[in-house]
Structure formats: C-alpha cells, structure tokens
Amino acid sequence: MRIRNVAIIAHVDHGKTTLVDAILKQTGIFRVNQQVEDRVLDSNAIERERGITILAKNISVDYLDYKINIVDTPGHADFGGEVERILSMVDGALLVVDAVEGPMPQTRFVLQKALEHGLSPIVVVNKIDRPFSDPDRVVEEVFDLLVNLGATDAQLEFPVFYASALSGTASSQIEVSEGEEANILPILDGIIEYVPEPEVVTGGPLQMMISNLDYDDYVGRIALGRIRSGVLNQGQEILITHSDSNTIRKAKIGKLYTFVGLKRVAVSQIGYGDIAAFSGVEEITIGETINEPEHPWPLPAIQVDEPTLTMVFRVNDGPFAGQEGDYLTSRHLRERLLKEAKTNVALRVEETASADAFKVSGRGELHLSVLIENMRREKYEFCVSKPEPILRKSENGVEEPFENLVIDVPQAHLGAVMELIGARKGEMQSMDQLGEDRLRVTFVVPARGLIGFASTFLTETKGYGIMHHVFSHYGPWAGSIPERQYGSLIAWETGMATAYALANMEQRGTLLIGPGTPVYAGMIVGENSRPDDLAVNVAKKKQITNMRASGSDDTVKLTPPRILSLEQALAYLASDEFLEVTPISLRLRKAILNRQERERSRKN
C-alpha cells in the first residue's frame, strides 16, 4: 500500500479538527450509526473546554490503494513547538483558511513553518456556507501571504478546495456542478495527487527521528516518528543517537505500533515512509534518532523558536500548604517540570539558586497557563511568580519580544481599545473595514503589554471583540508600561472571612473573596481603591452585647466578589506577589507573608 503523510495547519478555530472529523466519518472509521462527539481529536480536557488544539494528534485512513497519515496540529503560536516537530514528519500540508476571516496571525505563523520545511500547501477554503464568505478574496490573500513569506514558484502554484467541514462537503470548484456527489473525499483525492511520496533512502540502514511522545499505563512511554530509511521490527536492537550530542546508547524495541484510524495497532514490522510508534525505551526524548547498532546515522535535530516569557515555579510555603494537593515537595515539582520539558520542546526549565524554585520559560501566557492548569489537575500544589519577558542584549542595547496583534472590533469600541493598546506601547500598522460596522486593526505590541490584556479587551468591547497575536520580533525596549494602578488588600491574620468584616472592607476596594473563605496573614483578599497596599482584618467578628438596635440582625448584603480565572490571576500579580496554585484553589499572596518583614523589605 502506498503512503501519504500530511499535516493539517491553520489559524485557531478555522475548522481543521472538524475537517478531520468529516474525513474519519466518510472513510468508514466510524460506523454509520455510531455516536461520535464533535472534534474527536481534541481529547485533552483543556482542549475541549477551550475549543483549541494543544497537542498534535496522529490518525490514518485507508483510501483507494493509499494509506494517508494525517496529523492535526495546534493553531496557536504558543504551541509552535508542537507544529515544528510535526512538520518534520510529513511531506505536505493542508492549509485551512476561513472563507470570511481569511489568513490570520497564526495562519502566517504555521504557513511560514511549513515553507521552511519545504512543504507545498494545499489550500482548503473552509466555511464557505458562512454569511459574508468571500472565497475569491481569501485565495488572493493566501497568494499574497505566500509571496510575502518568500514561497517558491512551485509553492505558489497551490491547488484550492472549497469546503464546509461542518457539512462534510468539499469541491475543487466554488459552485458544485449538478449531479456531483457532495462529500469530503475530493480533498483526499487532492492529497494523493499533490502530496509527494515520502522521501526515503531505498535499501539504506534504519533511520527514524523521534518527533512526539505518548504514554500508556500498560507499556509506559511510547515514541513516535517517521521511518526515513530501513525497516523497524518488534523486539529489534537499536542505537539511539543525537546530532547535537556525542551520546550514543543501545536499547531494544518493545511493542511496535502503526496507526489505523484513531487507534494504535500492534504490528511486527513497519517499513520506510510510514509513521511508527514503539514502546520499551523509557528514557528516549524528542529529537533523538533511531539507528541500527552498526550504523550510527543521526538526523538533524528539530529547531524550535526560543521562549519569550518566563516565570518562577516554587514550592508552596504558605500556611495552607499540603491541605489540598498530593505533590508538594521540590522533588515532586522538579521531576514534573523536567518531565514536561522532555515532551514540550518549546519549554525551558532551569535550576535557580534556591533548591525550592525553578525558572520556567515558554512561548507565551497561554503556553505557561496550560502547563499550570494541567499540573493542578494532576494534584500538584505550588506557587508561581508574575510572568516576565525574556530580554536580551544586542548592539542597540536591551531588546524585548514584540507580538503582532490583530483585533476585530465593532467601530463603536475602537477608540477605547486604541487607548488601551496605546498605554501598552502598541503601534498601529494597518486598519481594514470588515462589513458595515466592524474593523480589523493590526498592531505591534511588546509581549509584556499583552499579559492579561485579553480579559480587559473582552470587557471593553462587551464580548464582541476578537483578538489574536503571534510573536513578531525582538526590538529595542519600549519603555515602562503602566502596571496595576491599585494596591492590594492583604489579610493580616489567619482565620475565616466574615460577612461583617467584608462589609467594612467594601468601602476600601474590590473584594476577591466571599464570606466563609479561609484566609492567612499575607494572603491578598481584594484590590485596594488606592495605589498602596493595605493590611486589613477580614476575620473580624461582630461583638455580642446585651443591647439590640433596630435592624441590627438584618443580613449583611455584600457585592459578589470578583473571582479571577487563572489567566486573570497571573495578570493581576505584582513583582512582589505569588499565585498559590492547588487542585482546588487559586490564592493570591505576598511573596513575604509576615507584615513586619514585608515593611522592612520595602524600606530597604
């Protein structure tokens, strides 16, 4: 059976995972009457909650006399490490573009990566049944984008398919001719016609790059990659090499798997050109090459864009430590972060001067927050610091990372949004009209200016605004950006927050907790209405006396507290504050809990 290896790349929410659903259904992977949930490949809980793809997934379908291996990749630039390594496994790319929105920031990002790998795109203009769709304009915009990215003449001769992944239809023509059967299969015909066969060294020794890792409770770590040369057998003795290291070690393949639909199926042998998976080697990592013992022959290591944001993960030393989590110690934290760094190639983990703290750097706020959320769900308990940009020195002085920000907003909200972005040192690059009352505006903004911006942007546009951003370049330091204008309300003793005390605190600012919340000295319980921090007693109880005044026993009515999400809590942090993360709670706190020590440190 002949093989085709293809990746599906696109901007967030342009429909690539839905397109895979349609392909699976129409190639017989699912029974006709089988109940299948939408976006079946987004199996991770966070992916389903947020409606985004975070982890690359492998599937395969048999169509005509071909085995087509399809990899669904993330669209968000924060998960560019996933995109980078997957593109090394394939020979072509399906570029999915929304028929209304056209190319967006992440479209540019994933397409640039595909071109760098020498892949020629097949363009799928999706959602052509949406109101205001304009497929012709979108195809022209894709062509212009390819030209700007330096595509070759061959890459500019891209085939186009017009699709509605939700309806399960596709065609090489915008208008489907009468009598033509409506299904998604023309895209598979296009893959066979336009994606080249895998480049392999016929008759050469074994060579396979490890591009992804998985885990199974029964067989342990599973390594995935494409066999560039030779044949891989179950139980085979192998040599593990790396192009950037002289370390060579021997190992033995355990179980060997190929992909059939959504499943891994055990086989005894897999030949060159196909995507394979195997167990039995626990210490294997992404970027290593599998060879025969007699023929060390490493492939070039995967190159991934450098991180742009960093934060400190440290052991939780607060009074409530150990009450809600199972994994608390520095050993637990260190092992988990190093394990993540082995599979998350865009992440960097470094030791610090303290044995209880680790510097973790990632591609952006979303990249780091997804790691934090995953660790919460795995019962880890720890503290994190305020995210900071990774700076570098050059001939021009200190440089910081900048992002390309694209916003779609109703015209009425543009002025307020421009003011917000201006305060964050953003500079407008272009403005386009979208329909009668919407505008698309492009900015270049320092990465630190976008920390916590999303929630403010949604509030300012009353939920009607859409924003996307992607790394642009390193440039000269843009100057100071106004941080939080208000101080914190800080609990000065441990206890239980009372409605009586909180009612008095409401005059001081915005509450972040409600009555009945356990608090400790140094924990942040609200936002002060003034710039300075203020220590408050939220556990104070009403004194009981023999005197009863009219109405004294009425129920205290409080304004509902402002409950912060994980991203909002990270954005709230000041440089002397931590976010305490547990499986149950998110608590803001001061780095120094003791009030006297905190005051002494501030004066020094």
CA distance 518 to 320: 9
The percent helix, strand, coil of the chain (3-state, each to 5) is 25, 35, 40
CA distance 395 to 223: 42
- What pLDDT, on the 0 to 100 scale, is given for residue 553? 41
Whole-structure pTM value: 0.79
CA distance 412 to 409: 8
- What pLDDT, on the 0 to 100 scale, is given for residue 204? 83
Q: Sheet with 534-536: list strands edge to edge.
A: 509-511, 524-528, 488-491, 534-536
C-alpha torsion 502→505→506→507, nearest 10: 150
Please, what is the end-to-end C-alpha distance for the chain in angstroms? 73
Paired tokens of 361: 């750097």
Mean pLDDT by runs of 10 across the 604 residues of the chain is 90 82 82 46 48 62 93 64 77 94 83 90 95 93 93 95 93 72 91 91 86 82 91 95 88 93 90 93 88 92 82 96 95 94 85 96 88 95 96 91 90 93 94 84 93 84 84 91 87 93 90 95 95 92 60 68 91 93 96 92 84
CA distance 228 to 299: 9
Helix 105-116 × helix 80-87 angle, to 10°? 30
Structural domains in the chain, sorted by start? 2-194 (3.40.50.300), 207-291 (2.40.30.10), 392-476 (3.30.70.240)
As to burial, measured by CB atoms within 10 angstroms (0-12 exposed, 13-18 middle, 19+ buried), residue 319 is middle
Task: Quick: pLDDT tens for 224-268.
Answer: 999 999 999 999 999 999 988 878 999 999 999 998 888 889 999
